[in-house]
């Protein structure tokens, strides 16, 4: 169908440095912070694949200020955080700008997040014109400027994400209840180290064994028997996970005596994969390649199901969401055609959380996030009609929004949560 | 007997109350804390000691969190506190609305309990009312009294204080009565609460109104009652409203343990200061540095001439700004004879008339005013009222003045009360102009309002900042955000000095990084002149120099540069042979008086609110109108406006009567449906349906659907959609059709052809938030119009009820595509003709480049007409992008509508006499990406770039300045070339 471009073309592109194959040996690749423990594993895989990769952990006002200087007011907060983190790191003197590159994922969806790369390039051109910007994507964008990984590497990365999700989930369900402060964190380090070794020696494919190891390790942490309020975190992918983006939301919830419930990163990957299958079904779009996505989906989903089964069998932890269940949850609220940004995944996660006993939810979104108008705030009313007790607070994250404001709103949600719990307990005692 | 103590620490006030065991209120108080939170609470606690020595205590309130935590006193979230008190005191309440200093809250008690607070972007609260009162130069009490006498209500943007201000200022300058404006402000607060907070839920039943503003302000109460249609029985205004939260806190305190008051006070007294604020460097290291700084700036000054002794020619400049009025009289060699700077207080015309009287009395017969020139918001009014010879757009005036101080100037920044204006200068002509927008509008008046809120004069307040040791970082987005940053800083114990210095630096950072969008200070230029009243504030000036690392020129008359420039303009443009200015003469001035009246213009469908000033000699001046018709002038020769053409064309599409129609389908004319209207109209008519279009957009239509708006920060076109849906529902159509389209039509010029997420999926939001929409009456299939097979399949399924055959749908789909092509061809042909005609007539053409739905006059607010009135032909991006080459851009080019912008810019960049103005909807995240790209395309080929942000604000004042500046710059460039 595609008509050939025969008209004359005006080129307004600005030149930018390209990541050449030789740079693999000479350059350190920086990646922004998002999910520290997942990224620890992912970076490990990339290093084994021959890239010198480093995750940034710098934060603070200077990071945000750097971002503010280079990012348009109306562009989303994640872009600002990421760019701020790169520039702040490069200016710290720790990295040689002649031998450093930066890496960002790119989804290629209809959300402006696909444009992070040009935004980062623009910022780099102003401050560090020699630093190449690399893309990690599955849509064939940025050919020649993306990470070259083998199929085997991708398989490893997938395992790393599953393990990351498992560690995160177990940790979140242990930390609030630990008897000895710091014991859950210790086990987390121990698990991640063990998994890294497994990724090195090929044992990572022994799924059952690795999962059992993590489950057992966390189960060894002594816990109190108390009951805490569970608070789910959903929203735009970056502010949902990144402590820099969400002002350490998980820590705040812990300090308020809650158990943060954070849905798995793999769900987002599966969401991206299945959207390609959906597109082919809905619009016959990309029909030629959809089967590949269908196979990838089948494989990943199979692994996820296995992981869930193992968790259920062990019995100690509330397992991850089953992705097919998430899809059915989405269907109750919104059409799976809503695929830009985090799209239908947000209401799906909210519904799934509610159905698995986490009725209190923080929907974290960057200020003015376009997909979130629809799938975040826009979907809350529909959710309320389905689940009477769902208790959602939408929190905007922005460089200038203050913590007082954000925390006050979350506190309101928590007050309602406590009240709901009292009511439920009262109902229970009435019945008995 | 136990005593329960509730303390509510809000953003502006402290409320304390004491309850006895039975819940009776023994004591309550309500005081402003002027940011001295801890001291104020301590003082209040001393007063309650007469009720006992031990209390069960609990703190609530946004500013109370910090001191509660550090003083180890129980805390309850304020909405929760209110909820507790409601259940105890008013158990039959259905909904409670609470307006506080900076927060607004709503609690739905019955029908599914829900508690909500305003989001981060919502200013319609107590502080907002204070701010508006300051703007009107009256007290809040006076404002309330005035509101009760109002005769009419103007639409004022309710979303945020900054927006509201830009609606109010022109009203004031046009002479609208303060009574009407006061009532309009209250109405704006009500609208904000209804749309921003209720979000789809109706406020009905027994409604409880809480918080200080709703207790003290009768006008506000009345506006709420009227808008929500509540009778006295259902609108409850409790006597305890101002301190209601503190009562709630006291109720919660009952669960806490009893403590000695002395202990509570002792703990509060030693609350440690927080470490959560970031601080910057002090502005000056020491006194010597300050003195050197002052001495350096003293050098940029004008000389004076004595008006009492001078005889000869003189030129008068008047700068009638939005908040201040400035006058200057100069000699031909630029010495100052007279100057004046004054706040408007809403009556600029009186001020100028008074000053002219004074000038006439001073100059005797010795001095002849050869020419006079006026600039600024009030330009037209002054010219009409006082017969001023010339008018000049303010950007030009400022530029002229700056050139006088530094002929090599390459960058000018002017920070005034309301505006930030920046110009880059190349070859002694303005090369680009940047003005601030709503979300980057931290300007001078903000410091002023803030100083007043602290109970200080601005001079005193800003002086405090000069020697602050640890200026706080307050962020740089908009004043509403700054307000809460200040709140946080105060909570953390920052001093007034540190906050003052922090505000100065915020304003500067905002200007540099947000308005100018400079990445590094070097981008600004080498020879910078700073001006505007705000720069007279040494703290701001110093912050600017520190941030840019450059020494800049600040003329001593920084606040008068507009007037000075206007005077220079008068001098340059007064012809040799003209010996005396046409300005009102002294005798005329003695008899000068006027009356002001506001009416709704009935000239056309725009229904502008116009203001009519009638002068004693019978002349009239009309303002507020968008076109000549309202001004009582003959309508200018029908200049082409493609925007209007498109809009009328679309509404003329559906056939009046489809005989034997299966059913009536309603199409909401907005977002994706706007441009696809030809497609869907033809589609449905081919299928045998009667097509009904939603009502034309208007402010009223927006209000009709306001209660179903779920996300306050979405763009105005999206929010208007709710009104379109309501209008169709009210019309009783059989069903409404609005598809979800991830992909728009592929125009083969971009990597992908997405719609923006809002356009693509707005149906989902509509369905989820409008209780009147059902599966049956709202049809929203997911389609990709590029693909026939799946589109036909999806439509077949969606319209199953009407048993259409697939082949009919296929035929209709093809017919629809044809109709769309016809429409596009017609737009393009029109465009070509306009271009050709303009070329022949030597007329300037402007391509208004936005989205197709920006052609809706309620969205563009009649910018096309405004351009026509300036003598310019108007094209739209969809008429010309096909003439542009394919473009390669640095950003990912993947949206259909946005790809057109790049090509339109490419085309414009090759045309003489054609310029591009980009229309951007407020809150459009994608345009944050396209604007920089369109700018760079144009600028790479030596064209000027202008961007206009549009929202619900119905005020073209700023737009006018922008467009006139653009035209003036084009003219200058033309002259240089």
CB contact under 8 A, B928 and A400: no
Nearest CA in chain A to B754: A110
Place of tokens 């998002």: A34
Distance between CA atoms of residues B294 and B90, nearest Å = 62
CA dihedral B274, B275, B279, B284 (to 10 degrees): 70
* Rg from Cα positions in chain B: 30
CATH class of A228-263+321-431: alpha beta
The beta strand positions in B715-836, using DSSP E, are: 735-737, 778-779
CB contact under 8 A, A370 and B756: yes
Query: How far is Cα of residue B920 from the mean position of the Cα atoms in its chain?
Result: 13
B278 neighbourhood in chain A, CB within 8 Å:
60-61
Do the two domains A23-149 and A228-263+321-431 of this chain adopt the same fold?
yes
Distance between CA atoms of residues B955 and B171, nearest Å = 9
CB contact under 8 A, B756 and A73: no
For residue B479, what pLDDT is reported?
A: 62
Q: From the candidates A88, A248, A285, A374, which should be mutated to test the interface with B, based on the most B CB atoms within 10 A? A: A374
Give me the mean pLDDT over the A125-134 stretch: 92
- List all residues 6 or more positions away from B591 whose beta carbon is below 8 Å from its beta carbon: B616, B617
B76 neighbourhood in chain A, CB within 8 Å:
415
For residue B854, what pLDDT is reported?
A: 95
A76 neighbourhood in chain B, CB within 8 Å:
925
Closest CA to B640 of B812, B832, B788: B832
If one counts every other C-beta atom within 10 angstroms of the C-beta of residue B587, the result is 9
For residue B158, what pLDDT is reported?
A: 66
Query: How far is Cα of residue B227 from the mean position of the Cα atoms in its chain?
Result: 23
For residue B192, what pLDDT is reported?
A: 81
Distance between CA atoms of residues B380 and B39, nearest Å = 51
* Residue A1 confidence class, pLDDT cut points 50, 70, 90: very low
Give the single-character DSSP code of B116.
E
At the second CATH level, the architecture of A23-149 is: 3-Layer(aba) Sandwich (3.40)
Give me the mean pLDDT over the A224-236 stretch: 94
- C-alpha pair distances (Å), B716 with each of A72, B178, B244, B345: 20, 28, 36, 31
Identify which of B475, B757, B937 has the shortest CB distance to residue A370.
B757
CB contact under 8 A, A381 and B62: no
Give me the mean pLDDT over the A148-164 stretch: 92
Please list, residue by residue across A32-53, b when 16 or more beta carbons sit within 10 angstroms of its beta carbon and e when fewer do. bbbbbbbbbbbbbbbeebebbb
Q: Where are the domains of chain A?
A: 23-149, 228-263+321-431
Strand ordering across the sheet containing B778-779: B690-693, B664-667, B735-737, B778-779
Structure token pair of residue B367: 């001095």
Please list, residue by residue across B525-544, b when 16 or more beta carbons sit within 10 angstroms of its beta carbon and e when fewer do. bebbbbbbbbbbbbbbbbbb
Question: How much of chain A is helix, strand and coil, in % rounded to 5?
Answer: 60, 10, 30
CB contact under 8 A, B757 and A68: no
Which H/E stretch holds residue B318?
strand B312-320
In the 3-class helix/strand/coil scheme, how is B51-75 assigned residue by residue?
HCCEEEEEEECCCHHHHHHHHCCCE
| Residue pLDDT, tens place only, B423-480 | 888 777 777 777 776 555 566 777 877 787 777 887 888 888 888 888 887 766 566 5
CB contact under 8 A, A110 and B199: no
Q: Residue A13: exposed, middle, or buried by beta-carbon count in 10 A (0-12, 13-18, 19+)?
A: exposed
Distance between CA atoms of residues B849 and B852, nearest Å = 9
CB contact under 8 A, A14 and B485: no
Size of interface A-B (CB pairs under 8 A): 270
Structure token pair of residue A368: 């003015």
Distance between CA atoms of residues B78 and B85, nearest Å = 11
Least confidently predicted of A2-11, A263-272, A310-319, B762-771: A2-11
Q: SS3 for B380?
A: helix
Place of tokens 């050869």: B370
CB B425 within 8 A of CB B409: yes
Structure token pair of residue B956: 């073209």
> Which residues, given as ranges, of chain B have pLDDT below 70?
35, 112, 119-124, 158-163, 173-174, 200, 271-278, 345-346, 418, 437-443, 475-484, 491-492, 519, 602-609, 624-637, 953-955, 957, 975-977
CB contact under 8 A, B929 and A375: no
Phi, psi of B435 (to 5 degrees): -120, 155
- List all residues 6 or more positions away from B163 whose beta carbon is below 8 Å from its beta carbon: B157, B438, B951, B952, B953
CB A415 within 8 A of CB B80: yes
B782: which strand partners? B740
Structure token pair of residue B667: 């199409």
Predicted structure pTM score: 0.85
In the 3-class helix/strand/coil scheme, how is B854-922 assigned residue by residue?
HHCHHHHCCHHHHHHHCCCEEEEHHHHHHHCCEEECCCCCCEHHHHHHHHHHHHHHCCCCEEEEEEEEC
Distance between CA atoms of residues B178 and B160, nearest Å = 20
For residue A1, the distance in angstroms to the closest alpha carbon of chain B comes to: 10
Distance between CA atoms of residues A69 and B509, nearest Å = 9
Nearest CA in chain B to A115: B892
| Residue pLDDT, tens place only, A49-66 | 899 999 999 988 889 888
- C-alpha pair distances (Å), B290 with each of B159, B282, B284: 41, 11, 6
CB A99 within 8 A of CB A82: no
B789 neighbourhood in chain A, CB within 8 Å:
284
Question: How much of chain B is helix, strand and coil, in % rounded to 5?
Answer: 45, 20, 35
Identify which of B923, B929, B936 has the shortest CB distance to residue A12.
B936
For residue A3, what pLDDT is reported?
A: 46
Give me the mean pLDDT over the A26-48 stretch: 93
Give me the mean pLDDT over the A367-385 stretch: 87
Domains of chain B (ranges, CATH numbers):
4-90+246-269 (3.30.420.40), 97-237 (3.30.420.40), 312-406+564-590 (3.30.420.40), 411-552 (3.30.420.40), 645-822 (no CATH), 825-976 (3.40.50)
For residue B604, what pLDDT is reported?
A: 65
CB contact under 8 A, B519 and A127: yes
CB contact under 8 A, A12 and B933: yes
Q: SS3 for B727?
A: helix
Distance between CA atoms of residues B366 and B360, nearest Å = 10
Q: Is the dihedral of CA B388, B390, B391, B396 positive or negative?
A: negative
For residue B69, what pLDDT is reported?
A: 82
């Amino acid at each position: 169908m595609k008509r050939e471009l025969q008209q004359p073309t005006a080129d307004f592109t600005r030149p930018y440095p390209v990541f050449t194959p030789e740079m693999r040996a000479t350059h350190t690749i920086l990646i922004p912070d998002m999910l520290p423990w997942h990224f620890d594993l992912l970076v490990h895989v990339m290093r084994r694949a021959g890239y010198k990769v480093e995750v940034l952990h710098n934060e603070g006002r200077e990071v945000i200020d750097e971002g503010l200087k280079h990012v348009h007011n109306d562009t989303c907060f994640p872009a600002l955080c990421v760019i701020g983190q790169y520039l702040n790191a490069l200016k710290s003197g720790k990295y040689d700008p002649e031998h450093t590159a930066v890496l960002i994922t790119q989804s290629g969806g209809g959300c402006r997040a696909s444009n992070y790369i040009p935004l980062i390039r623009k910022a780099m051109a102003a401050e560090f014109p020699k630093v190449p910007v690399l893309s990690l994507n599955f849509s064939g964008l940025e050919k020649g400027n993306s990470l070259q990984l083998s199929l085997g590497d991708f398989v490893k990365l997938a395992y790393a994400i599953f393990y990351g999700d498992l560690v995160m989930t177990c940790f979140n369900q242990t930390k609030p209840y630990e008897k000895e402060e710091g014991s859950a964190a210790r086990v987390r380090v121990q698990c991640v180290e063990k998994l890294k070794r497994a990724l090195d020696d090929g044992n990572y494919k022994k799924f059952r064994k690795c999962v059992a190891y993590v489950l057992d390790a966390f189960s060894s942490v002594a816990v109190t028997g108390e009951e805490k309020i569970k608070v789910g975190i959903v929203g735009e992918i970056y502010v949902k996970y990144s402590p820099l983006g969400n002002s350490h939301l998980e820590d705040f919830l812990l300090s308020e005596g809650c158990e943060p419930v954070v849905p798995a990163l793999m769900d987002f990957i599966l969401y991206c994969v299945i959207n390609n299958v959906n597109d082919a079904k809905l619009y016959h779009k990309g029909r030629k390649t959809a089967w590949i996505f269908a196979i990838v989906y089948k494989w990943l989903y199979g692994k996820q199901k296995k992981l869930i089964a193992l968790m259920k069998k062990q019995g100690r932890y509330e397992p991850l969401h089953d992705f097919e269940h998430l899809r059915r949850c989405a269907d109750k609220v919104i059409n799976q055609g809503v695929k830009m940004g985090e799209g239908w995944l947000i209401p799906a996660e909210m519904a799934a959380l509610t159905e698995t006993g986490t009725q209190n939810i923080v929907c974290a979104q960057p200020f003015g996030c376009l997909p979130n108008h629809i799938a975040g705030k826009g979907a809350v009313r529909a959710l309320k009609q389905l689940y009477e007790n769902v208790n959602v607070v939408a929190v905007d994250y922005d460089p200038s929004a203050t913590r007082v404001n954000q925390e006050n709103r979350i506190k309101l949600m928590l007050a309602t949560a406590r009240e709901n719990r009292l009511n439920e307990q009262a109902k229970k005692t009435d019945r008995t | 007997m136990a005593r329960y103590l509730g303390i509510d620490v809000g953003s502006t006030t402290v409320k304390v109350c004491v309850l006895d065991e039975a819940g009776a209120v023994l004591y309550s108080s309500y005081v402003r804390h002027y940011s001295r939170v801890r001291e104020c609470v301590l003082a209040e606690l001393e007063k309650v000691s007469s009720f006992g020595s031990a209390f069960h205590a609990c703190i609530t309130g946004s500013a109370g969190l910090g001191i509660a935590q550090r003083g180890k006193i129980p805390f309850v979230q304020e909405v929760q506190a209110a909820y507790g008190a409601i259940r105890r005191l008013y158990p039959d309440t259905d909904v409670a609305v609470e307006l506080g200093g900076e927060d607004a809250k709503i609690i739905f008690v019955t029908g599914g309990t829900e508690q909500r607070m305003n989001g981060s972007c919502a200013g319609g609260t107590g502080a907002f009312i204070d701010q508006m009162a300051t703007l009107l130069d009256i007290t809040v009490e006076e404002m309330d009294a005035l509101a009760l006498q109002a005769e009419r209500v103007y639409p004022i943007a309710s979303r945020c204080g900054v927006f509201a201000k830009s609606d109010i200022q022109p009203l004031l300058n046009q002479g609208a009565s303060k009574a009407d404006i006061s009532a309009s402000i209250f109405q704006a607060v009500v609208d904000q609460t209804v749309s921003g907070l209720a979000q789809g839920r109706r406020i009905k039943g027994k409604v409880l109104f809480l918080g200080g503003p709703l207790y003290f302000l009768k006008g506000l109460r009345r506006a709420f009652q009227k808008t929500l249609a509540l009778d006295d029985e259902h609108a409850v205004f409790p006597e305890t409203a101002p301190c209601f939260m503190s009562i709630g806190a006291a109720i919660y305190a009952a669960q806490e343990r009893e403590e000695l008051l002395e202990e509570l006070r002792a703990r509060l007294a030693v609350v440690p200061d927080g470490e959560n604020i970031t601080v910057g460097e002090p502005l000056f290291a020491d006194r010597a540095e300050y003195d050197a700084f002052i001495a350096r700036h003293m050098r940029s000054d004008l000389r004076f001439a004595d008006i009492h002794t001078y005889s000869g020619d003189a030129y008068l400049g008047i700068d009638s700004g939005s908040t201040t009025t400035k006058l200057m009289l100069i000699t031909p060699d630029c010495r100052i004879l007279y100057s004046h700077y004054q706040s408007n207080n809403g009556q600029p015309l009186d001020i100028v008339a008074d000053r002219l009287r004074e000038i006439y009395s001073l100059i005797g017969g010795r001095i002849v005013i050869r020419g006079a020139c006026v600039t600024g918001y009030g330009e037209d009014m002054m010219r009409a009222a006082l017969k001023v010879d010339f008018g000049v757009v303010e950007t030009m005036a400022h530029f002229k003045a700056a050139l006088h101080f530094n002929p090599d100037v390459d960058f000018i920044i002017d920070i005034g009360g309301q505006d930030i204006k920046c110009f880059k200068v190349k070859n002694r002509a303005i090369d680009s102009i940047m003005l601030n927008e709503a979300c980057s509008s931290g300007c001078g008046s903000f410091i002023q309002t803030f100083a007043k809120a602290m109970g200080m004069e601005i001079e005193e307040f800003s002086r405090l900042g000069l020697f602050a040791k640890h200026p706080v970082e307050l962020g740089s987005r908009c004043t509403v955000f700054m307000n809460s940053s200040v709140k946080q800083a105060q909570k953390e114990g920052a001093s007034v000095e540190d906050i003052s210095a922090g505000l100065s630096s915020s304003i500067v950072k905002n200007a540099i990084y947000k308005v100018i969008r400079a990445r590094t200070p070097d981008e600004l230029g080498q020879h910078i002149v700073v001006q505007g009243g705000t720069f007279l504030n040494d703290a701001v000036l110093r912050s600017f120099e520190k941030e840019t690392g450059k020494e800049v020129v600040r003329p001593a008359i920084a606040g008068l540069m507009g007037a000075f420039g206007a005077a220079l303009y008068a001098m340059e443009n007064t012809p040799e042979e003209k010996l005396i200015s046409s300005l009102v003469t002294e005798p005329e001035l003695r008899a000068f008086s006027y009356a002001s009246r506001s009416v709704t213009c009935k000239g056309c469908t725009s229904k502008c609110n116009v203001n009519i000033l009638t002068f004693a000699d019978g002349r009239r001046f009309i303002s507020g109108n968008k076109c000549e018709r309202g001004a009582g002038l003959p309508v200018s020769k029908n200049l082409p406006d493609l925007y209007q053409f498109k809009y009328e064309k679309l509404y003329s599409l559906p056939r009046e009567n489809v005989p034997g129609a299966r059913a009536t389908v309603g199409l909401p004319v907005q977002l994706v449906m706007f441009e696809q209207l030809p497609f869907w109209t033809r589609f449905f008519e081919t299928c045998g349906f009667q097509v009904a279009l939603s009502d034309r957009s208007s402010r009223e239509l927006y209000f009709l659907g306001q209660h179903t708006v779920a996300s306050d920060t979405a763009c105005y076109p999206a929010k208007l959609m709710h009104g379109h849906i309501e209008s169709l529902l009210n019309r009783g159509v059989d069903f409404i059709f609005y598809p979800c389209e991830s992909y728009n039509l592929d125009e083969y010029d971009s990597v992908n052809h997405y719609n923006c997420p809002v356009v693509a999926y707005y149906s989902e939001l509509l369905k989820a938030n409008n209780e009147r929409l059902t599966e049956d009456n709202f049809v929203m299939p997911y389609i990709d119009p590029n693909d026939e097979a799946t589109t036909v399949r999806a439509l077949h399924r969606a319209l199953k009820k009407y048993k259409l055959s697939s082949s009919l749908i296929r035929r209709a789909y093809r017919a629809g595509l044809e109709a769309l092509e016809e429409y596009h061809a017609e737009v393009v042909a029109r465009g070509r003709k306009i271009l050709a005609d303009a070329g022949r007539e030597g007329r300037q053409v402007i391509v208004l480049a936005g989205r197709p739905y920006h052609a809706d006059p309620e969205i563009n607010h009649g910018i096309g007409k405004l351009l026509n009135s300036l003598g310019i032909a108007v094209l739209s991006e969809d008429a010309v992008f096909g003439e542009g080459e394919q473009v390669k851009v640095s950003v990912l080019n993947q949206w259909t509508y946005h790809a057109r912008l790049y090509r339109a810019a490419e085309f414009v960049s090759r045309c003489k006499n054609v310029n591009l103005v980009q229309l951007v909807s407020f809150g459009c995240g994608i345009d944050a990406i396209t604007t920089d790209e369109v700018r760079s395309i144009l600028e790479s080929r030596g064209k000027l770039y202008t961007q206009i942000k549009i929202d619900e604000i119905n005020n073209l004042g700023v737009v006018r300045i922008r467009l006139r500046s653009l035209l003036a710059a084009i003219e200058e460039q033309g002259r240089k070339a």
